[in-house]
Amino acid sequence: MALRLENKNALITGGASGIGRATAIRFAEEGANIFVADRHLQAAEETAAEVRKLGRKAAAHQVDTSDEAQVNAMVAKMVAEMGGVDIVVAAAGISHAHYGEEGQPDAVPLSEKSFANWKRVLSVNLDGVFLTCRACAAAMIKAGKGGRIVNIASGAARVPTPGVGEYSVSKAGVWMLTKVLAAELAQYNITANAIGPGFIKTPMTASIQESPNMVPLLQRVPLHRMGEAVDVANTALFLASEEGRYYTGSILHPDGGLLMQ
């Protein structure tokens, strides 16, 4: 049986952990070569090593996706080393301005929100996805072979999240960005879709997994449990494969039924 992504080259941003890492490994299982990009190089190297164990080519690259020059250099390096970009999964993102630091989330209303913290979240979650998609789309158009763009948004793109409104706004922006890309890139046989996960077990959600608030949160989920990163990876695999070739401008929600209403 043929592998679904045999000999495809996939760029995964945020590929060092969580959804990005699960997607890199799942794609490699289906035959893809993986360019793992993340701000944490050592962890990206660990993901790349797992990909190589599966018999696929892999490279790790350190990048701040909110930096235009770094993103352009990342895609240029991938094209030079792997021969092109067939698939991009833009999974790099943060839940709040101090994510990855010792600081706590800026959980206050937008009326009291620090502009610096607002800008930080938007720069990574929205600007970073735009820059990544722009550079990859240009490479795909030049190659003339079509392509697949998969952006990781969130269920928060549809549902407001008081206290971390900048996160909801950034993910809603990713959803609209994806639809515009879909409309503009269809002529080149490049599809663009988004994924809006619900509550998924990842390092980003570690704090809420341990919170007493998790019980009432899961009561809102018809399946009454959190999802796994591989559930999102499988959704990305569908959109990146031939099975998903007639999807563009869509957002799929692996969320246990949370958003069914």
Rounded CA-CA distance 46/41 in Å is 9
Rounded CA-CA distance 30/23 in Å is 11
Which is catalytic among the residues 167, 188, 246, 247?
167
Residue 189 DSSP symbol:
T
Strand pairing class (58-62; 190-195): unpaired
188 catalytic, yes or no? no
Please say whether the beta carbons of 72 and 136 come within 8 A.
Answer: no
Neighbours of 220 (CB within 10 A): 13
Helical H segments across 144-190, by residue range: 165-185
The residues that are catalytic are: 167
